[in-house]
Structure formats: structure tokens, C-alpha cells
């Protein structure tokens, strides 16, 4: 068996790896992680604020802090997710070969 790769095989493999890397980059964009977590925690805290008892509301001086914090977290999470949707990451540029770089 020969472990010899042709230039075409190497180029095809590099192209496949670049596509997988671009997909992974979009999948693990930090805006998705932050936005998703803020939305999840925002829903939980908002529900806690909606179902607050009168005794706990009195402890907080009449301010429903869970409701306001939950709504703020939801707004921030939606902002991050909208930012991700409106401004997705640009696809990576193809590498410049030595021939193209010398002619410019």
C-alpha cells in the first residue's frame, strides 16, 4: 500500500477541514452561548417573579426584583441572539497562494 497523497487529495482534504472548521465556529459563537443562557435563565427568573408570594414581595420592599431581573435577562439574551442573526460571522477567506501573492 502506498501512503502517497496527490496534490488534489490534499487540497480536497484541506477544503473539507476548512468547511468543518467554519461550521464549528458558527456553532460555538460566543453570542449564541451568552444569548441562549440569558434567555433560559431569564425565563426561569421571570417565572419566579410572576409566582412570588406576598410575604417575599414584602421582604423586598414591595419591589418584584425577580420579575424585573428576569425581564432584563430576557431582553439581553434576545439582543445577543438578534445580533447573531443579523450579523453572522463572515465565512473564512480562502488562503492566498504564492502565485497570487506574487502577482499583486
* pLDDT at 29 (0 to 100): 82
CA–CA dist 30, 57 (Å, integer): 35
**Higher confidence at residue 82 or residue 10?**
82
1 pLDDT above the threshold of 50? no
Count how many Cα atoms sit within 13 Å of the Cα of residue 23 in the half-sphere of its side chain: 6
The tens digit of pLDDT for each residue in 45-98 reads 999 999 999 999 999 899 999 999 999 999 999 999 999 888 877 665 666 766
Amino acid at each position: 500500500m502506498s501512503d502517497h497523497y496527490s496534490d488534489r487529495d490534499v487540497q480536497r482534504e484541506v477544503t473539507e477541514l476548512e468547511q468543518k472548521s467554519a461550521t464549528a465556529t458558527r456553532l460555538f459563537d460566543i453570542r449564541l452561548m451568552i444569548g441562549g443562557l440569558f434567555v433560559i435563565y431569564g425565563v426561569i427568573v421571570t417565572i419566579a417573579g410572576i409566582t412570588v408570594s406576598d410575604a417575599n414581595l414584602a421582604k423586598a420592599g414591595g419591589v418584584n426584583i425577580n420579575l424585573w431581573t428576569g425581564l432584563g435577562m430576557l431582553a439581553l439574551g434576545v439582543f445577543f441572539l438578534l445580533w447573531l442573526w443579523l450579523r453572522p460571522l463572515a465565512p473564512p477567506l480562502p488562503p492566498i497562494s504564492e502565485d497570487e501573492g506574487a502577482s499583486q
